[in-house]
Amino acid sequence: MEIETPDPDPRDDPGEPDESGADGGRRRKRRKPRSRVFVISMILVLAVFGIVVLTPLAVCFRVWYQARQDERPRSDTIIVLGAAQYNGVPSPTLRWRLQHALDLWRAGVAPRIVTVGGKAPGDNYTEADSGRRWLIEKGRVPAGSVVAVPEGRDTLQSFRALGRVYKQRHWASGVIVTDPWHGLRSKKMAEDSGIKAASSPTRSGPSVQTRDTQFHYIVRETGAYLSYVLLGKSVRVPGETIENAPIMDEPSTAKPG
């Protein structure tokens, strides 16, 4: 008598495991690390993109935004950042800064003006002393209301020197006068030097002559700000914002009518 043997179930064949078997499970498990690697790679790419592209754009916006602010809180001093001087005569850029500081002083923003800035090798005068003399002689500011801090060949050096003067004289706050695009970096350096800073930029002078000039200096200040924040380095702002800028008329020092 013949006994019929049932046909084997294909699912019981170990040589051909289906996707639900142990081998298939291992294959699925092997796919997971690849997925994680892909996700991690995408996160790294996005992070690099954010650092390389989005961070400079954000700083660029902050430079532009700060340049549009005119902050005039009652303060201990008005701080005039240095710019080029020619044998004791302030350059157009420095004259416009001094004139703006003079206007702020007349408006009662602070009882004194502080001029800062050293001198290049071979110069006979410092930027700070040239600015102080202009304010006294041209602006008719009492000598006792103008303090010169003749140190520093860049903004960071000047603020470090100014920070020491602030501590000695027990000052706390200051309104910074500089070109619009320099405001953000100047405030950061001032605050790092222990000065509660505001910014009231000039609205005249070579740095605001054309849109091309403005764009150039927004980009430049973006790089300079990042250089300071990330590396602790200062980029010197040229004494003349535009080397070939035409000599502008002397700012009027007459009191408004």
Q: What does residue 146 show for φ and ψ, rounded to 5 degrees?
A: -125, 125
Residue 118 in 3-state DSSP?
coil
CA 183 to chain centre: 7
Q: Please give the Cα distance from 110 to 150 (Å, whole number).
A: 20
Percent of the chain with pLDDT over 70: 75
CATH code for the domain defined by 67-231: 3.40.50.620
Distance CA 101, CA 90 (A): 14
The closest of 156, 221, 225, 216 to 190, measured between CA atoms, is 156
pLDDT of residue 230: 87
Q: What is residue 139's predicted lDDT score, i.e. its pLDDT?
A: 94
Q: Does 44 score more than 70 pLDDT?
A: yes
For the entire predicted model, the pTM comes to: 0.74
Q: Could you state, in order of their start, the residue ranges of all structural domains in the chain?
A: 67-231
Band of residue 138 on the pLDDT scale cut at 50, 70, 90 = very high
pLDDT at 195 over 80: yes
**% of the chain with per-residue pLDDT over 90:** 50
Q: Is the pLDDT of residue 23 over 60?
A: no
